[in-house]
Structure 1
């Protein structure tokens, strides 16, 4: 019997602290840095974002999102046999133990499940879904919990208005299970390390401390130019692989980085904007969490229904990009 994988549950979590553009404008003004709600919104489409509390870690956000996904899937933590967490802001700076292992512990799961992290920055969730799909189709795992979780507020330089206004914290999760009918219709992943310097946290760990900068750095124009090019290409690749056209896509759920990039992608695919899920205005860029956050919002408000075809795609530091086509 041919095995497929299917998304059967979604969940998300946003920290309680909501930070508007006005809040940020006041904070930056105190440092002598000028900005405004209009300046931020016109360049990014962002009006607000959420920041984690001082005692909230990526694993805490991940667990909250995971519980909602498990509830929708009508599963308990012990039903999961693999946990994959996509994050660029893991609980531990040295990246171990993995955030996935911490999530496993906090969910009270038994040790029969495997757990590991995936690092592809904003493409991380797409990468993780592709890995989970392959494991399920190979018969290695039956029920996989895939999570994107970030606390980007910890790595933002609040003296750099070009980056600090763009990012937020949050988590999104899906439960993927073995299915007799196709769910994940195709995926395509790419990377080009020659662009590693345009989006990075350039610090290194040396002698127990950060050597260099521990803040996020981004060459905005370079990222924008590359993103609008590769997102169209990878979307067409995954559609061709599935033997489908963009006209058959019910919903586009792109990485929520910048509304101009998102609209450009939809236009190039000849998809009406009404078919694109947008949460960047209220969430900001939550990196690996942005796609599952947006997916969960649209599932829970009734836009994305069972049987709908959803195209998810993202770009991230590395430089990485990828797309997943799924039938819900």
Structure 2
């Protein structure tokens, strides 16, 4: 017998304010047609003034706890993925811990940009497998609207704010791919490409927050290659085939990238959870937001095999294969 990390609850939160492409087109040299054609995005949510990343994260986490039927005091680990923390320190996870009343266990942030949730999920899974935690909250939360250059039409139309969360609990498994829970995770990074997607500020370099900068074509090219390889890695590690996957829940960056990944897997788009049209790119929050939506509306069901994959600045990329 081995220990597996089961997803026993999912939750999400989107800020109330919805910003359409038409609203952006009134401020930036762009159009609804241009944005949809290149990205598939139609709208995004934006945090209200005074609404912090920790606020979004806390609301998503509470919904996940409610779905799992457990209290915050039952949580003994919080791993929060974000590239837009409340403050340089303390961690946003520490604030969420205080908000939820689950004191004492470790709480920390993981920064891998859009791959952050997969990174955080892997970290929490390893804590559980090592016997250092029994119940973990894994959260992806972002307020990317705070680091966008609103005069750069190539980037400001791409991103939105939101948060998603899952509750993991330790459970026994037999070590086969038929187990429930996280079956395998695979993480990668290549810092040689750090200048292709970055924020031009930081405490050590400029003593400012900075704004997002991206070389879109190069990012797109690397994404197609890296995501395909990390998906193959997950399948090879478990002896499974693309046809065994019930649902693909990808990072929601660009509809064309998502469709390209589905084609490589031979998956019909009906088996791909897609929220990019309504959420835009919410970085570390995009996968848990999409997963929570698909669980809530009944598409993703107990026993089904779900593949999570993402790529982000760094470059970082990763995958997780989970049986619900």
Q: Which category describes the TM-score, using the shorter chain as reference length?
A: over 0.9
Shift of 1:209: 3.4
Residue of structure 1 in register with 2:202 after alignment: 204
Partner secondary structure for residue 35 of structure 1: coil
Alpha-carbon RMSD: 1.1
Residue of structure 1 in register with 2:13 after alignment: 13
Alignment coverage as a number of residue pairs: 318
Matches within 5 A, 1:39-188: 39-92=34-87, 94=88, 96-111=89-104, 113-181=105-173, 182=179, 183-188=181-186
Distance 1:207 1:3, change over 3 A: closer
Residue of structure 2 in register with 1:286 after alignment: 282
Shift of 1:13: 0.2
Is 2:271 the partner of 1:270? Answer: no
Taking structure 1 as the reference length, the TM-score comes to 0.95
Aligned counterpart in structure 1 of residue 255 of structure 2, from 250, 254, 259:
259
Partner secondary structure for residue 307 of structure 1: coil
Taking structure 2 as the reference length, the TM-score comes to 0.96
Shift of 1:35: 0.9
Q: What residue ranges of structure 1 are gaps of 5+ in the alignment?
A: 29-33
Q: What residue ranges of structure 2 are gaps of 5+ in the alignment?
A: 174-178
Residue of structure 2 in register with 1:31 after alignment: none
Shift of 1:208: 8.6
Residue of structure 1 in register with 2:176 after alignment: none
CA separation in 1, counterparts of 2:256 and 2:207?
38
CA separation in 2, counterparts of 1:102 and 1:198?
31
Residue of structure 2 in register with 1:189 after alignment: 187
CA separation in 2, counterparts of 1:206 and 1:275?
44
Distance 1:282 1:265, change over 3 A: same
Shift of 1:234: 0.2
